[in-house]
Copies of this chain bind each other. A is one copy, B any other.
Amino acid sequence: MKSILIIEDEKAIAELERDYLESYGFNVHIEGRGDTGLQKALDGEYDLIILDVMLPKVDGFEICRQIRQASNIPVLMVTSKKEDIDKIRGLGLGADDYMTKPFSPSELVARVKAHLARYDRLTADKTKRGEHIRIRGLFIDKPSRRVMIHENEAMLTSKEYELLLLLASHPNRVFEKEELFERIWGLDSNGDAATVTVHIRRLREKIEHDPSNPQYIETIWGVGYRFKV
């Protein structure tokens, strides 16, 4: 779940925003002052910050500048004065968006979603080409050895991961059980290929919606398995 920090001294506005955002499944925290807000913002625990311009102690411009020193997370500035907009732009603070009060809550949610999506898109991009595999609802990130199945992380053991990676790296190719065993367990290993069956089963348990009717790893009778695409 994404977390949003609202730095806003008008309690009524802040709570309205919070209620709306929470109803869309966001995790929301409110800070009423500039100084404490800045501290929270720099904690790095939030995915997006909604920042009022006029604040006690430290104003929104300064907070935005300081956030940008430390991170690139989306900052959405809010103001009631139209002339602030030019100032935000002119100062080159690096705010991602700005809205003038009053604004509709649905407009706020739409923008928040858009910014979060873009941020994910652009920062996920640093995973260079070939460092991850995406096939249907399955996502394999090699550097982190993580596997996501429809947004949820599948906690695979070492052997399960290697098995999946090998299969998914060669979509549709059929691997004999013996080959799988040799490539993952090693040529010298003394076990037998029945082990593969059990591991395939355990893997399916974790990545398939219905392990008995697998969508990803298909059994090729009398031969072995393949990753279906």
Contact = CB atoms under 8 A, between A and B. Distances in A.
Contacts of A134: 42, 44, 70-71
Contacts of A105: none
Contacts of A191: none
A13 interface: no
Contact of A173 (B143, B157, B170): B143
A136 B172 contact: no
Nearest to A85: B110
A104 interface: no
Contacts of A170: 143
A22 interface: no
B146 A223 contact: no
Interface string A117-142: 11101110110000010111110010
Interface string A156-179: 011100000000001011100000
Of residues A42, A43, A144, A222, which shows the largest number of chain B Cβ atoms within 10 Å of its Cβ?
A144
Interface residues of A, number: 44
Nearest to A145: B174
Interface of A: 42-45, 70-72, 89, 92, 94, 96, 110, 114, 117-119, 121-123, 125-126, 132, 134-138, 141, 143-146, 157-159, 170, 172-174, 220-223, 226
A41 to B, nearest CB: 11
B117 A92 contact: yes
A206 B224 CA distance: 22
25 contacts: A43-B137, A44-B134, A44-B136, A44-B137, A71-B134, A72-B121, A89-B110, A89-B114, A92-B117, A94-B118, A94-B121, A96-B114, A122-B122, A123-B125, A123-B126, A126-B126, A143-B170, A143-B174, A144-B173, A144-B174, A144-B226, A145-B226, A146-B172, A158-B222, A159-B222
A223 B110 contact: no
Nearest to A126: B126
A158 B223 contact: yes
Contacts of A43: 136-137
